[in-house]
Structure 1
Amino acid sequence: MLLEFIAIIAAGFGLAGLVLMLNVVVRKRLPGWAMPASAGLGMLAMAVWLEYSWLDRVTAQYPAEVEIASTNEVRAWYRPWTYAVPQVNRLIAIDHRFDRRNPAHPDQVLTQVLLVGRWEPARQFGVVFDCAGGRRADLVDQVRFAEDGSLANAPWRALQPDDPVLRAACRR
């Protein structure tokens, strides 16, 4: 967050400096408001770019086995440009490096789910998806694995058949 703040300030100073140089070249014929307006425009443009490039910058750091299953797009009245192009502020990903299947329950996959939000710490937790039954069970404290590999005390949650996280988890 601090680095982004520094980048925004630097963009404002940079664009104001360019306008200052242009003003020297045209022998001070630009209006007095040109330099502060360009500083504000530079800071706004950098802030917007940082917001919209967040998803690409975050996902570029993930290995190939991490699949983005779902993103959350937002629109806000105080960011009117988000009505033209919605901004992504959260994502849900499946980390296929942790996929495990039990031969006794071939329709179930144990995997890791990543919850990542802008300006929030990333969270990772284990989940068992029942691909045939269209449901999931989060691996919380009371969940245990029985002798046959089934889940005991698992609070299963029904999912829609077209749920993007379920589809991503069951794809491999």
Structure 2
Amino acid sequence: MYTNEPELSGSFNFRALEALSYKVKTNSQANTGKEMIYEFIATISAGFAMAGFALIIRHILKLLKTPSPKWLIPIFAGIGMLGFQIHQEYHWHEQQIEKLPKDAQVIKLIEGKTWFRPWSYVKPQVIRFMAVATDKTISNPQLGSIKSINIYLFERRISTKIVPQFINCDSQTIADPFEQQHSQETTDQPATDSASANTATESSNSPTAQRLALSELNWHPLKATDPLLKAVCGTSTS
């Protein structure tokens, strides 16, 4: 159905990131439901507006004593609703980009064509896109400057997904902060003592523990031309 998607960051393309459901935080689906309701209301309104325009044309033709076709109003209503939907299909990603944090950058637009949208063969539509925003910078003497980022995955009429990642600008690598946590969930035993659990949490949040945790992550190389690396670390990265 869709055109081929060029890979981002080696194996870190859109579908690969989306498939990692254990680390993806999904935004409230209520917002997506509201947007769909608003779009439905706007579509019906566009149909009524065009039907009203057709009604004016019929009255003008009546004054001119010229017969008007009975299908004029429903055809105009259909054109209004279809036209609004086509407009939304080509501009929905721009509306989502406006809602992103100020420091967020769009790093990938994925266009596609479908047989039931023949106009997409004339001008392909953006069906999905990625954006990235830097959350914070972590200084690590052994690894260098580590940036904590959020990768936003957008798809029309689907709740936005946020994938947290770590980027090392010095070594040009990327790591999943939840990879080890996910692997340990199947082996960790539940804490029997609340005091010991609190102590363990405090120790894991200490700077020393954080540095050790960063060094133990699986770091994957990025290409120097990777748009994700350029957006987070700047174009001066060599």
Structure 1 CA distance for aligned equivalents of residues 122 and 148 of structure 2: 39
The offset of 1:19, in angstroms, is: 0.3
Residue number in structure 2 paired with 1:149: 211
Contact 1:70–1:93 (CA under 8 A) maintained in structure 2: yes
Query: Greater strand percent: which structure?
Result: 1
Structure 2 CA distance for aligned equivalents of residues 20 and 49 of structure 1: 24
Name the amino acid aligned to 2:160: A
Work out which of the residue numbers 57, 79, 83 in structure 2 matches 1:22: 57
The offset of 1:147, in angstroms, is: 4.9
Cα distance per residue 1:28-70 (max 9 Å; x no partner): 6322222111111111100011111111111112232111111
Bigger Cα displacement from structure 2, 128-137 vs 42-51: 128-137
Residue number in structure 2 paired with 1:101: 138
Question: Which fold has the larger relative contact order, with Cα–Cα distance below 8 Å and residues 6 or more apart in sequence?
Answer: 2
TM-score by length of 1: 0.85
Residue number in structure 2 paired with 1:40: 78
TM-score by length of 2: 0.64
Residue number in structure 2 paired with 1:123: 161
Structure 2 CA distance for aligned equivalents of residues 52 and 43 of structure 1: 15
Residue number in structure 1 paired with 2:117: 79
Residue number in structure 1 paired with 2:197: none
Structure 1 CA distance for aligned equivalents of residues 118 and 98 of structure 2: 27
Contact 1:55–1:88 (CA under 8 A) maintained in structure 2: yes
Name the amino acid aligned to 1:39: A
Contact 1:73–1:86 (CA under 8 A) maintained in structure 2: yes
User: Which secondary structure state, in structure 1, belongs to the residue aligned with residue 42 of structure 2?
Assistant: helix
Q: Relative to 1, partners in 2 of residues 1:120 and 1:30: Cα closer, same or farther, differing over 3 Å?
A: same
Structure 2 CA distance for aligned equivalents of residues 33 and 148 of structure 1: 69
Unaligned runs of 5+ in 2: 1-35, 182-203
The offset of 1:141, in angstroms, is: 4.9
Name the amino acid aligned to 1:171: G
Q: Does 1:11 find its partner at 2:74?
A: no
Q: What is the aligned residue count?
A: 171
Structure 1 CA distance for aligned equivalents of residues 158 and 208 of structure 2: 35
Unaligned runs of 5+ in 1: none
Name the amino acid aligned to 1:37: I
Structure 1 CA distance for aligned equivalents of residues 67 and 167 of structure 2: 67
Query: Greater helix percent: which structure?
Result: 2
Cα-Cα RMSD: 2.4
Contact 2:137–2:145 (CA under 8 A) maintained in structure 1: no
Structure 1 CA distance for aligned equivalents of residues 218 and 110 of structure 2: 25
